[in-house]
Amino acid sequence: MRPAFVGKDNRELRDFLPPKIFDSHLHLFDRSCLVSTYQCLPRSVFGKFGGVFPLEQCLRYAHALLPEQEYHLNSLAMASYNSDFDASAVYSGSISDNRRFFAMALVSPHDTAEAVIRRVEALHSSATSLTLISWIGKTSMMSPFTTCYP
């Protein structure tokens, strides 16, 4: 899939930006992060990206938009009822190098201490540091994900 902005003249934007960009909040996930019954409806923002948004796809888009900038990021998986939080921690840890790419684990207020520890360990097994984000399971907090149902 080709981003709509490719081919546009972004010189004014590129000249304004510093040589390094840090995106502090980015949702990255592949199919392994989702429950097996996941189906992304066309109205979902992620439907525009094939229902997933992995690191490789993000980097292609970043390079297409800003080829002269070095892109760094802090990511977390999709926080929704369609997400497997344990698998998301494994994926997030696998793409984190804690130099250019950082990752956070998804944690629900309903999780047991054991579940939190399991996710921290999964994230930490690949990454050398960790950050946790607390997810509040309110529909209003999940927009635009509310259009994705199992």
Which residue carries 């304004």 as its tokens?
16
Indicate whether 143 belongs to any domain.
Answer: yes
**9 within a domain of the structure (yes/no):** no
Residue 35 belongs to some domain of the structure: yes
Asked whether residue 88 is assigned to any structural domain, the reply reads: yes
In the chain, the number of structural domains is 1
Has residue 11 been placed in a domain?
no
pLDDT tens by residue, the chain, 150 residues: 445 555 556 677 767 889 999 999 999 999 999 999 988 877 878 777 788 999 999 999 999 888 889 999 999 998 888 899 999 999 999 999 888 999 888 888 889 999 988 988 887 765 444 344 444 443 333 333 333 333
Please give the pLDDT value at position 10.
65
Which two structure tokens, joined as six digits, stand for 132? Answer: 């946790």
Tokens of 115: 């579940």
Is position 4 within any domain? no
DSSP 44-70: SGGGGGTT-B-HHHHHHHHHHH-TTSE
Strand 39-40 and strand 148-149: the pairing is antiparallel
CB 31 within 8 Å of CB 91 = no
Q: Is 13 a domain residue?
A: no
Q: What is the pTM of this model?
A: 0.74
Residue 39: beta bridge partners? 149
Q: Could you list the residue range(s) of the whole structural domain that residue 123 is in?
A: 19-149
Give the separation between CA 55 and CA 21, rounded to whole angstroms.
Answer: 16
The neighbour count for residue 120, using CB atoms within 10 Å, is 16
Residue 91 CB burial class (10 angstroms; 0-12, 13-18, ≥19): buried
Is residue 2 a part of any domain in this protein?
no
Tokens, residue 112? 């047991």
> Using CA atoms, how far apart are residues 118 and 122, in angstroms rounded to an integer?
6
Predicted pLDDT of residue 15: 74
